[in-house]
Structure 1
């Protein structure tokens, strides 16, 4: 027999109690009585057949199972709220384009330009969500994605946008002379890394024809936006695509530390399922983006 799912009210009561580690605080947040929270949690424990809280006098603490379940319930409730907001945004006459984007590309390149798209197409709304890895479109709600790499995303069409040139940069006062005349001197500075590109400094050293540098030493950061902030803070030298730091270079917040060429064989692409050009919003966004 199929088991019934816990009620949403019981899950909400449990999540609040778990987050606060207190039935009293959960009751205050949800404008319920403490006894109502206690009954909801007890009913949930009875349905699951698992004890979620240790009850010691008037104090409650999560059991190991309760801690694990609270994390899962919190994520599920947040996803339900996001799904509700997403579907509500599709109401009305506006067309919606769901776009997966690279986080720093989005904030540094796409967002500053997207206003011109809305001027041309005021009836289209673009929802943007961060994605850094390849996924199956049929398993998501995305209509298109901005991709960095090779145009080998299965089941999609890939439109080339532009290539990438990476430069070694740092805060100006990190290198008083303003430039490393000998690339091998890079070994005197902390190297800052992007987690998703662990071989970048190794490739840079190979291009510079130097082998004495420990290219793996230094801190790692998940996104280019964090890497840029670390470089601007003087934490070391970073390899960053030139187009992402045009403002920092112009304002002298960052300088090019060594002019070793690093042109990537990968590039930026707009990718979308093969049948997506039948979508008016995808077709118009594609035309606008390629013009950019």
Structure 2
């Protein structure tokens, strides 16, 4: 069993040995000179040996004192390095907390975050999904990601940065397209899947040659785009999908683009950070990764749509 030693006495001896002075050691430890002398005397009594030669005015260590001093230096250096490492790990382990709009969180960010964690294994990320625009300002998040017209949510507390736009695309299952969609337009029994939070159908009809059948008067209404996409994949009708959220389903042929027009969104995904709060190193790393990944992905989306004959209409 390891025998306990007085850390106070060991620190006092190490300080005296390093400074070669009781006075300087006392100043460093913020105690009195007699207190330092008392601690070293207690240590010598405990070890049953003399550590400091007191026969001269100058501080001289005995051979045993030199051996103990060298060992203590190594031990204190190890303690210091260990505490620094643990402190760094503790800071990293706190990780990054992000509040993200539900559709973007589940259909895009969740599919990409694994790359970040593999690239930066020492940084943890906590993602909380929320309805668009619900900022939960009473809670502590490093970043918030929502969509809307630029500047909508920026205020005295939040700094906004645009992440990306997207392309609005009419989408349905291959089977539904064969039975309900024609090149001339929509059949009378076409069923529309509508997102009550974001419904760009009127704009889509406005910027294309197709007649608006008044879809807001009938159809199924959901409160999230991903629910509309899921219903469309199941053959429940046609919806407008966000190219960021729907690309994987299009590439997998679960959804098709029956019409050759897509609209560039007037709204954007944006990232928000508290003003006057300096980014941590981990936050800088994450933000740089996010912007880079989104830029690559957005180029991939645009190239895929152009390759497949989709005309992208800029309605801004």
TM-score by length of 2: 0.58
Q: Does 1:95 align with 2:107?
A: no
Shift of 1:278: 2.9
CA contact (8 A) 1:144 1:272 kept: yes
Aligned residue pairs, count: 201
Q: How does 1:21-36 map to 2 (within 5 A)?
A: none
CA contact (8 A) 1:169 1:237 kept: yes
For residue 171 of structure 1, the aligned residue among 155, 170, 173 is: 173
Q: 1:205 — aligned with what? A: 205
Q: 1:148 — aligned with what? A: 147
Q: Name the CA distance, whole Å, in 2 between partners of 1:136 and 1:181.
A: 43
CA contact (8 A) 1:186 1:213 kept: no
Q: Name the CA distance, whole Å, in 1 between partners of 2:187 and 2:204.
A: 11
Q: 2:246 — aligned with what? A: 245
CA contact (8 A) 1:179 1:256 kept: no
Secondary structure at the counterpart of residue 257 of structure 2? strand
1:117/1:227 Cα in 2 relative to 1: closer, same or farther (>3 Å)? same
1:262/1:132 Cα in 2 relative to 1: closer, same or farther (>3 Å)? same
> What is the root-mean-square deviation of aligned Cα atoms in Å?
2.5
Secondary structure at the counterpart of residue 196 of structure 1? coil
Q: Name the CA distance, whole Å, in 1 between partners of 2:187 and 2:99.
A: 36
Q: Name the CA distance, whole Å, in 2 between partners of 1:220 and 1:174.
A: 18
Shift of 1:176: 1.8
Q: Name the CA distance, whole Å, in 2 between partners of 1:120 and 1:151.
A: 31
Q: Name the CA distance, whole Å, in 2 between partners of 1:285 and 1:189.
A: 43
Secondary structure at the counterpart of residue 166 of structure 1? strand
Unaligned runs of 5+ in 1: 1-89
CA contact (8 A) 2:95 2:282 kept: yes
CA contact (8 A) 2:228 2:239 kept: yes
CA contact (8 A) 2:135 2:144 kept: no
